[in-house]
Amino acid sequence: MKEFNCSVYRGGTSKALCFLERDLPEKSRWDDFLCEAMGGYTKQIDGMGGANSLTSKVAIISAADDCINYTFAQVAIDKNVVDYKSNCGNISSCVGPFAYDSGLIKDEMLFKDECDENHICLRIFNTNTKKYIKSRFKIKDNLFDEEGNHQIAGVPGSASKIEISFLNPEGSLGKGLLPTKKQIQTIQTSFGQIQISIIDAGAALVFIQARDVLKNMLYDEISQEELDKIEEIRSIASEILGLANRKEATYKNPAVPKAALVDFSYDYLDMNGQLITKHDSNVAIRMMSMQKPHQAIAITGTVCIAMASKLKDTLVYKHLKNCESNILKISHPSGIIECEVLDNEVKITRTARRLMKGFIYTKSNFIRAIL
């Protein structure tokens, strides 16, 4: 086969190809199929990718007895590699709408006390992290209703609000919230000793003090020399976690843990030229995505930052300002993201929109799996 059913969704500040698992080739061919669908590693010109990690993502969906199963795939833009080790929170926001519009929802999947005639609240199981997500979104005429006045940083205009709750998010790698049992630790790099915090909630992140790797401010352009330092630290953290040798981590384990630079909040202009003051947020973060600076912030990263903010002595905790409630405001290059940090969940609002529904065509022949 060279023709496969596909939808393209914007979920939060990312974009993904969305597939029903039953429409895909057999699992052993997923990597080849997804790399070809995205267009390869030469600017992805011959496929659907946009030569940016934020637009080179895939959601694979199927129905279980009491939930929607969701597998996330991050397709590299500079090599034929697909990573399945972590989830994408932004893309999680479009999973419910896609599943609902695909006719997969059953009563057993619902949090019924949070549903009404205009909203549905759905249980989603992320197979990458083995964690559950609660997704509440608006419906109309038996379809996802994208119209609304909710706005999020990094996305123009407004749409209907999608409430995403990450339930018991600690330990996506199976090693708990503190996989090294330390809030902070010192590592040796080629440019000296530095302190890091490795936290795992929603996704595993290695936090780095911005001043240890950057010459300029957090949201200024990052040089290749500085990116190499950040990747060296991320690779060391990968080795500490037992995921890949530091010399091989960039290729074999490019997405886990994710690197995040942390600083105190300060005044800056976001990517739209809007002034963000130091009083607008509690902490400043800049995340990396597949060895490149993230234009916004990963939602699973936001979950991890939120949980790290409650752990005394982590680098996130040490850089907090004026955070006296369960609401955490994080500044990033595109603006501010806000989340609510509760005992066993982190709640974030997003928006999503279907951009295309149809077929994707491949050059190679793939045999569709029979499920």
The string of pLDDT tens digits covering residues 93-141 is 999 999 999 999 999 999 999 999 999 999 999 999 999 999 999 999 9
**pLDDT of 370 over the 80 cut:** no
| Adjacent-strand bridge partners of 110 | 122
Q: Number of helices and strands (H, E) in the chain?
A: 6, 21
Task: Assign a CATH topology to domain 3-168+351-361.
Answer: Diaminopimelate Epimerase; Chain A, domain 1 (3.10.310)
Provide the CA 147 distance to its chain's centre, in angstroms: 24
pLDDT at 44: 93
Q: Which CATH superfamily is domain 185-343 in?
A: Diaminopimelate Epimerase; Chain A, domain 1 (3.10.310.10)
Q: In CATH terms, are 3-168+351-361 and 185-343 the same topology? A: yes
User: Looking at residues 274-293, what average pLDDT do you find?
Assistant: 93
The Cα 97–Cα 324 span in angstroms is 34
**Would you say the pTM of this structure is higher than 0.85?**
yes
Beta-sheet pairing, 131-140 with 57-63: unpaired
177, 170 Cβ separation under 8 angstroms: yes
The rounded distance, in Å, linking the Cα atoms of 202 and 195 is: 22
Helix (H, G, I), strand (E, B) or coil at 41: coil
Residue 371, pLDDT above cutoff 60: no
168-223 confidence digits (pLDDT tens):
999 989 999 999 999 999 999 999 999 999 999 999 999 999 999 999 999 999 99
Any idea where the domains of the chain sit in the sequence?
A: 3-168+351-361, 185-343
Q: What is the pLDDT of residue 187?
A: 98
